[in-house]
Amino acid sequence: MIVSNIGAELDRLLDWEKGTAEPLLEQPPDMNLGDAAFPCFALSKTLRKNPQLIAAELAQRFALAGVQASAAGAYVNFALDRGLHAQTLLERAELHAVQGEGRTIVIDLSSPNIAKPFGVGHLRSTVIGAALYRMYEAAGENPISVNHLGDWGTQFGKQITAYKRWGSEERLNASPIRESLDLYVRFHDEAEQDPSLDIEARDWFRRLESGDEEALRLWTYFVDVSLTEFNRMYDRLGVSFDRVLGESFYNDKMGAVVEELRAGGLLEESDGAQVVRLDEEGMPPCLILKSDGTTIYPTRDLATALYRHDVLGAEKLLYVVGAEQSLHFRQVFAVLRKMGRDWAEECRHIPFGLMKFEGKKMSTRRGKVVFLEEVLDEAVARASEIMAAKNPLLHNREAIAEAVGIGAIVFGDLKNNRIGEIDFSLEEAVQFEGETGPYVQYTHARARSVIRKAQAAGLPHGSGDAAESEAGVPGHEASSAASEPSGEQAYTWDDASWELLKRLCDYETELRRGLQRHEPSAIARYALDLAKLFNRFYHHNKVLTEVPRERQIRLELTRLTAQRLRWALELLGIGSPEEI
């Protein structure tokens, strides 16, 4: 609200349309420069003046009660009167009312391949998509999560060929996923020397598509054992899905897509295959049917999009899939537009960068897979060791170590810009210092510990546990700290308290920003900032002081910090233990 008022006054001074200046306001790099800054570089061209002169003139003309404007180079810095504005900020920090439109948004995420291990490489789509789901839900939308399993395609022809040639039912039953991976890797090694293997694999896939009994039997077995493995991983990650619909679900829906494309004159023959040309879009043709008559990924994804819109009622479709598939989705969305589906404009590919492990790229074809379960187990074990050293009397350490260890892995991914490449380091992820999940969790536990001490001493501590227990739920009542009791000396807002209070007010802003950019890292970074600011505040101020007003304000800041950290961690899919 205060920033909006600053923006409105700038709009008036510059004769701008209402709401123009506010988005241009920045956070100064140093708190000593003030609470907001307005850059004047862009005004130099339109006003034909030096930006430093523009800043000086604006600062001199600026008039808003409780806000001091000063020029610093080409910036106008604004400092708030802390005593005047603190109550407004406290009241704002108490509110949580992100109002969405209730849109149905289908989010395609995770999508591991059947008969392949759930490796570290699958983590990104899973946790990014799940975080976006929670963020949309917290913002008042109606998300639907869909796990689009890779349970169809030529890889099953390869898998069946490998099993028929070198497989053993005994070994497969003893370790279905690892044996399946070994067979898949051997197929690719042998195929480099024996091209007939690829022909045999294509034949097995054709038999599978035709309903061959043996092909279906083996395919069903691979699907069942894979789902059992995947569900164990999802349970540990705290991820669930509204729909689990693999590629095979759309087998009887692709024919209608092909016929519509043919009837619309969109299909053309190219080297025996059927394609939709996209020359006008500056893209290569989109392959619909291969020369042997079998379907391919774009065919299925067209049928998938139509089902999600027509049957699930999606108003927006998001695909959380690696950046290497960008061209594929551009082609699919372009074909949908050519089919007259205007809603294709609401289809979005949410790409993410490659995840390496200790500098190495993962590849199931070469067997270079780091099993996610092994990484989770190691993270939990390391977290347990660290906690045993820090707090040997901690109750329920195993359950807390599970939350901290897995939280470390998830946070280690989500703190990064999703499009960037990640070189994952387990050693760094599990540390309780630095930009890590355990650091945020430990800060939350510290804040909750202070609240428990206040409760045990019978001290008033704001809205208390009722507000803390509901993550992301609007309608909390304002605490008693939001108003100045009569007859008591006003609280002196030191830098640490003030900076923490301001950042507490940014939860909704960061949620909106994260959704606009489809960036869970906005929430992770917010949690890190808040944790750092709280720890600075905690070390500079005695919270449970003997001075009632100081104690009241500081307890309220502590309670709000614990609440916001919990909300942020829950959006990211990370637990927030009360003790660590």
* Tens-place pLDDT, residues 371-427: 888 889 999 999 999 999 989 999 999 999 999 999 999 999 999 999 998 888 888
What is the reported pLDDT for 370? 76
Residues 281 and 193 reside in one and the same domain: yes
Q: Are residues 119 and 74 in the same domain?
A: no
CA–CA distance, 107 with 431 (Å, rounded to integer): 32
Residues 152/248, Cβ–Cβ less than 8 Å: yes
Instruction: Please state, in angstroms and rounded to a whole number, the distance separating the CA atoms of residues 111 and 180.
Output: 18
Token representation of residue 149: 């399993």
Give the domain CATH number at 13.
Answer: 3.30.1360.70
Indicate which CATH number applies to the domain containing 113: 3.40.50.620
Any domain includes 437: yes
pLDDT at residue 471 in the model: 43
Which pLDDT band holds residue 173 (cuts at 50, 70, 90)? confident
Q: Does the pLDDT at position 204 exceed 90?
A: yes
What percentage of the chain exceeds 90 in pLDDT? Answer: 77
Which residues face 273 on adjacent strands? Answer: 270
How many residues are given for the chain?
Answer: 580
User: pLDDT tens, 506-551?
Assistant: 999 999 999 999 999 999 999 999 999 999 999 999 999 999 999 9
Of 187 and 481, the one with more pLDDT: 187
Out of 357, 380, 403, pick the residue that ends a domain.
357
In a domain, 98, yes or no: no
Q: Are residues 283 and 431 in the same domain?
A: no
Q: Could you read off the pLDDT of 523-534 as tens digits, one per residue? A: 999 999 999 999
Report pLDDT digits (tens) over 310-354.
999 999 999 999 999 999 999 999 999 999 999 999 999 999 998
Say if residue 56's pLDDT is above 90. yes
Per-residue confidence (pLDDT) for residue 470, from 0 to 100: 44
What local confidence, expressed as pLDDT, does residue 316 receive? 98
Q: Per the structure block, which two tokens stand in for 195?
A: 């091209």
Letter for the amino acid at 364?
T
Residue 384 lies in a domain: no
Residue with the bigger pLDDT between 471 and 180: it is 180
In sequence order, which residues have a C-beta less than 8 Å from that of residue 74 and are 6 or more positions away?
A: 39, 40, 41, 51, 52, 54, 55
Same domain? For 224 and 328 the reply is yes
pLDDT at 119: 77
Alpha helix stretches (DSSP H) within 343-469? 372-390, 397-414, 426-429, 437-456, 465-468
Residue 486: pLDDT above 80? no
The domain boundary, picked from 80, 113, 130, lies at: 80
Q: What pLDDT does 360 receive?
A: 56
223/9 Cα distance (integer angstroms)? 62
Q: Is 99 left (phi over 0), alpha (psi -120 to 50) or beta?
A: beta
Residues 174 and 236 in one domain: yes
| 57, 69 contact by CB (below 8 A) | no
Q: Which residues pair with 109 in a beta bridge?
A: 147
Rg of the Cα atoms in the chain = 28
**Cα 226 from Cα 380, distance rounded (Å):** 24
Model confidence band, residue 296 (pLDDT cutoffs 50, 70, 90): confident
Question: What is the span of the domain harbouring residue 290?
Answer: 104-357
| Residue at 89 is within a domain | no
Same domain, 13 and 162: no
Q: Does position 294 have pLDDT exceeding 60, yes or no?
A: yes
For β-strands 422-424 and 355-357, DSSP reports them as: parallel
> Residue 505: which CATH number?
1.10.730.10
Average pLDDT, the chain: 91
**Among positive and negative, which fits the CA dihedral 224, 228, 230, 231?**
positive
Asked whether residue 473 carries a pLDDT value surpassing 50, the answer given is no
Q: Average of pLDDT values for 115-140?
A: 92
* DSSP for 15-34, written as a single string: TPPTTSSGGG-B--SSGGG-
Question: Looking at the predicted structure, is the pLDDT value of residue 361 above 70?
Answer: no
In a domain, 364, yes or no: no
Higher pLDDT, 169 or 566: 566
Least confident piece of the model among 89-98, 171-180, 328-337: 89-98
Mean pLDDT of 453-473: 64
Same domain membership, residue 304 and residue 267: yes
Q: Is residue 97 in some structural domain?
A: no
Q: Residue 200, SS3?
A: helix
pLDDT at 464 (0 to 100): 46
Contact criterion met (CB below 8 Å) for 127 and 414:
yes
- Same domain, yes or no, for 289 and 417? no
Query: Is 87 domain-assigned?
Result: no
Alpha-carbon torsion, ordered 195, 196, 199, 200, to 10 deg: -130
Residues 38 and 120 grouped into a single domain: no
Whether 223 and 322 map to the same domain: the answer is yes
* Choice among 119-133, 203-217, 411-425, 485-499 with the minimum mean pLDDT: 485-499
Task: Give the pLDDT score at 417.
Answer: 95
Contact 526, 135 (CB under 8 A): no
Q: Residue 487: what pLDDT?
A: 47
pLDDT of amino acid 488: 53
- Residue 86, domain member (yes or no): no
Residue 574 confidence (pLDDT): 98
pLDDT value at residue 359: 60
| 319 burial type by CB count under 10 A (0-12 exposed, 13-18 middle, 19+ buried) | buried
Confidence label for 462 from pLDDT (cuts 50, 70 and 90): low
Query: Domain check: are 350 and 396 in the same one?
Result: no
* Least confidently predicted of 30-34, 64-68, 312-316: 30-34
Residues 152 and 204 in one domain: yes
Domain count, the chain: 3
Indicate the DSSP class of residue 491. Answer: P
**pLDDT exceeds cutoff 90 at 12:** yes
Query: How far apart are the C-alpha atoms of 67 and 77, rounded to whole Å?
Result: 10
Confidence band, pLDDT 50/70/90 cuts, at residue 433: very high
